[in-house]
């Protein structure tokens, strides 16, 4: 079983424990505010930053305790982040829907629910907890699931970040006419990072799409590499949560220092 398979197995087990009726989810969705426009937030002329609230990862283990996820998200917003990413997977990443609730209540920019979305229920759940954007990992989904989940997200007025790791996955992603594609340089089977993934795949993405570079970005030179490849946004977690001063780290990534 690959790391990805193991994570998804745990996601399904945890989901079974918290599943509510769809009628109850629709009631909770009706109380959530209208989704914010993640496409607009990421469409600036400069490279945009999706800043992540991330306590741990399968590759690095514990990263930071993050007792106040909303406070950290507010720092990110004030430092110029365009979107806040919140890990809600518990077993490997130490996240929760409570973190998503806390962050959504504090920031005024779009929020990404970053989880392994493998069940229709999770999309209603994401919207009920205030998510404006969800992650769809091509490697984790069949083509029919990818299309159905993308369409469901659109129906719920949420944007979708379509994550790819290989040329084949990028071809599959393009079949659903996405607006945001993320290229993850981390191999989800081995957890190794190869920045050549950016230079190989991002130039293949049409220029009218939002192109996000994910994983392995910790310095301004990493940002420059991704930007030269054609990235219009970066998603950064580890480098920010491990930084003693998240504001300073954001400024360095954005080339302001």
For residue 56, the domain's CATH number is 3.20.20.70
Marked catalytic residue, from 57, 153, 160, 215? 215
Give φ, ψ of 146 to 5 degrees. -55, -45
- Could you list the residue range(s) of the whole structural domain that residue 150 is in? 3-253
* pTM for this entry: 0.95
pLDDT at residue 24, rounded to an integer: 87
Active site residue 54: yes
- Predicted confidence (pLDDT) per residue in 57-85, tens digit: 988 899 999 999 999 999 999 999 999 99
Q: How many whole angstroms separate alpha carbon 257 and alpha carbon 239? A: 16
Marked catalytic residue, from 160, 184, 185, 187? 184
- Predicted confidence (pLDDT) per residue in 152-168, tens digit: 999 999 999 999 999 99
Active site residue 163: yes
pLDDT at residue 135, rounded to an integer: 98
Quick one: tokens of 15?
């989901």
Active site residue 157: no
pLDDT at residue 2, rounded to an integer: 85
Marked catalytic residue, from 48, 56, 114, 160? 114
Nearest to 111 by CA among 87, 132, 134: 132
- Predicted confidence (pLDDT) per residue in 187-220, tens digit: 887 888 998 999 999 999 999 999 999 999 999 9
Active site residue 200: no
Quickly state the pLDDT bin for 51 (edges 50, 70, 90).
very high
Q: Burial level of 81, CB count in 10 A (0-12/13-18/19+)? A: buried
Quick one: tokens of 92?
């490997």
Marked catalytic residue, from 54, 82, 169, 187? 54
Other Cβ atoms closer than 10 A to 91: 15
Give the total number of structural domains in the chain.
1
In this predicted structure, the answer to whether residue 46 has a pLDDT above a threshold of 90 is no
Mean pLDDT across 21-50: 90
Marked catalytic residue, from 77, 163, 169, 238? 163
Nearest to 118 by CA among 137, 96, 97: 137
Active site residue 252: no
Active site residue 9: no
114's CB contacts (< 8 A; 6+ apart) are 52, 85, 86, 87, 88, 89, 95, 135
Marked catalytic residue, from 77, 89, 169, 214? 214
Active site residue 238: no
Mean pLDDT across 91-113: 97
Is 134:155 a contact under the CB 8 Å cutoff? Answer: no
């Amino acid at each position: 079983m690959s790391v990805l398979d193991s994570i998804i197995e745990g996601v399904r087990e945890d989901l079974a424990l918290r599943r509510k009726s769809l009628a109850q989810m629709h009631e909770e969705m009706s109380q959530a505010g209208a989704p914010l426009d993640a496409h607009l937030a990421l469409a600036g002329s400069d490279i945009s930053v999706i800043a992540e609230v991330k306590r741990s990862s399968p590759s690095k283990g514990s990263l930071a305790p993050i007792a106040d996820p909303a406070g950290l998200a507010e720092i990110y917003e004030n430092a110029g982040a365009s979107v806040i990413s919140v890990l809600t997977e518990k077993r490997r990443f130490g996240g929760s829907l409570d973190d998503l609730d806390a962050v959504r209540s504090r920031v005024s920019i779009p929020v990404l629910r970053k989880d392994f979305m493998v069940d229709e229920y999770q999309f209603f759940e994401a919207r009920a907890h205030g998510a404006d954007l969800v992650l769809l990992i091509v490697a984790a989904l069949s083509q029919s699931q990818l299309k159905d989940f993308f369409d469901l997200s659109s129906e719920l007025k949420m944007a979708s970040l379509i994550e790819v790791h290989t040329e084949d996955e990028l071809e599959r992603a393009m079949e659903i006419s996405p607006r945001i594609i993320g290229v993850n340089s981390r191999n989800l089977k081995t957890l190794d990072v190869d920045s050549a993934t950016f230079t190989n795949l991002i130039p293949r993405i049409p220029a009218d799409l939002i192109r996000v570079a994910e994983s392995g970005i910790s310095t301004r030179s990493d940002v420059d590499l991704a930007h030269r490849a054609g990235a219009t946004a970066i998603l950064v977690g580890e480098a920010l949560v491990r930084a003693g001063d998240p504001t300073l780290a954001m400024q360095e990534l954005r080339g302001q220092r």
